[in-house]
Chain A
Amino acid sequence: MNTNLNISHSHEVKSPRRLMLEIKDLRKSFGKNHVLNGFHLALYKGENLVIMGKSGSGKSVMIKCLVGLLQADSGSIKIMDQEINTLNQSDLDTLRTEIGFLFQGSALYDSMTVRENLEFPLRRHKSKMDADTSISELVNNALEDVGLLHTIDLMPAELSGGMKRRVALARTLILKPKIILYDEPTSGLDPITSKEIIELMRRIQGQYKTSSLIITHDIDCARVVSERILLLVDGINYVEGTFAELSTSKDPQVKAFFK
């Protein structure tokens, strides 16, 4: 591992802010394919942390382990002081309402309209709603936040790629999560739409005061939204720093990403 850089392993970062998410020594293999080999991470309240890495470096597996979609072989994942491996299904479902997940392909329910997509999580978690706010009011507000109120009665198939991503973001926000996980939020989008999504992410972070973990290959996205960047190589932390630090790095692996 390269050590001549301004490296600070995520678990060693000191901050007065509240720790929202902490991963320690995470390992995950599929047969003989060792995807995660002792990964560490810490995400603090209100922070935007970008994870970068080559395809197959374990980013998506890591983010799926985080929300319990995959079971890690070993290691610890703590979300808001709760160790997710020890939670029962009901507690895990409750914790998941505090975490928003924006999928790479948007993952809108294509048999439902935009309105029904946004209502879906609300109807199942009414405890997350204020007593004096109706479901339709919340849906309208969330769509207004992403500038797509006019699409409320459309089906996902009638939306463009960028619109789908924004509706998915509105669905993610509707339960007012404390942490948002973005899986390649700008992939497959044209540069203008990508900028719109990046701007939206920044605005949302300011408005909702969320902590965000962003997996991306998009250098523009990383530059605009990141406070810290963590480079993942072969399933382990390779280097960590600010955009300015990493973009001027002389390390060939890091340079390959930022040139």
Chain B
Amino acid sequence: MSESGGIKSFFVEIGELSLFATRFFKELFSRPFETKELLNQCFNIGYRSLLLVSVTGFIIGLVLTMQTRPTLEDFGAESWMPSMVSLSIIREIGPVIIALTFAGRIASGIGAELGSMRVTEQIDAMEVSGTNPFKFLVVTRILAATLMLPLLVLLGDAIALFGSYIVENLKGDVSFVLYFNKVFDALSFSDILPATIKTFFFGFAIALVGCFKGYNCEKGTVGVGAAANAAVVYSSMLLFVIDFVAVFVTDIFFEL
């Protein structure tokens, strides 16, 4: 494909994704509400991601502290460790890394599931049985991911701080109470609120791209693989764009 053709198809895809998102908001507020399927998706997307998020969070906290500690020791600034780690994790590393692992699991899963439903005519079967497949499959998944990711990030952040505490306790003999007192002294409202708000957008973007790619899947089983792959790649890229915008907006309101 020529360069101009590639650019054109990129903008066509952005346009189609925007229309897909618009349809989501239109269908979100129209009856009937698929409450049972929404709860089912919250379980699949949220509960079944707990282990992944917990392990990821724990390792982030552990590794960040182990890597940073020697540098702070050189300056005799180990006591700043809880503040530095908590700000890094809460503001940026926790939300972004957990959202990226979430994208790997959820965007690819949704892309592959909806893609295979499309190519095996299950979505058509749903439509001809008088059920709106967009509402049943897409709206529930996007809403579930939007609601679940912020909770998972809060949990992941907490576990990351616990991982960091373990290293501090082993290497610096810092108590649990002292460590977390320092953590909460360092954190303010302007650290937690914007970081939490952006995770709603992360969750929305991940599921939106996954659903968009899967729902519009073509070309048989090859298309299913391509949909799952593209869902992860595009949603990960979109995460960084959203993160950039979020930090920019936060800076305007809270002067970072």
Contact = CB atoms under 8 A, between A and B. Distances in A.
Contacts, number: 57
B5 interface: no
A77 to B, nearest CB: 14
Interface stretch (A29-37, A103-111, A196-204): A103-111
A121 B121 contact: no
A99 B125 CA distance: 12
Interface string A64-106: 1001110000000000000000000100011011010101110
Nearest to A64: B124
Interface stretch (B128-136, B149-157, B246-254): B128-136
A255 interface: no
A50 to B, nearest CB: 20
A107 B130 contact: no
B68 interface: no
Contacts of A108: 122, 125
B129 A109 contact: no
Given A109-B122, A110-B122, A120 B128 contact: no
B120 A121 contact: no
A110 B122 CA distance: 8
Contact of A93 (B117, B124, B130): B130
Interface of chain A: mostly helix, strand, loop or mixed: loop
The dominant DSSP class at the B interface is: helix
Nearest to A124: B131
- Which one of B32, B121, B129 has the greatest number of beta carbons of chain A within 10 Å? B129
A33 to B, nearest CB: 16
A103 B124 contact: yes
Interface string B104-148: 000000000100110011101111111110000000000000000
B124 A107 contact: yes
A19 B129 CA distance: 22
Interface string A113-128: 0000000110011000
B124 A125 contact: no
Q: Kindly name the residue among A94, A103, A107, A175 whose own CB sees the greatest number of chain B CB atoms within 10 A.
A: A107
The 4 closest A-B pairs by CB, nearest first: A107-B125, A93-B130, A107-B121, A121-B129
Interface of B: 32, 113, 116-117, 120-122, 124-132
27 contacts: A64-B124, A67-B128, A68-B127, A69-B127, A94-B130, A96-B127, A96-B129, A97-B129, A99-B128, A101-B125, A103-B121, A103-B124, A105-B121, A107-B120, A107-B121, A107-B122, A107-B124, A108-B122, A109-B122, A109-B126, A110-B120, A121-B129, A121-B130, A121-B131, A124-B129, A124-B130, A171-B129
Interface of A: 64, 67-69, 89, 93-94, 96-97, 99, 101, 103-105, 107-111, 120-121, 124-125, 171, 175
Given A120-B131, A124-B129, 4 more contacts: A68-B128, A104-B121, A111-B113, A124-B32
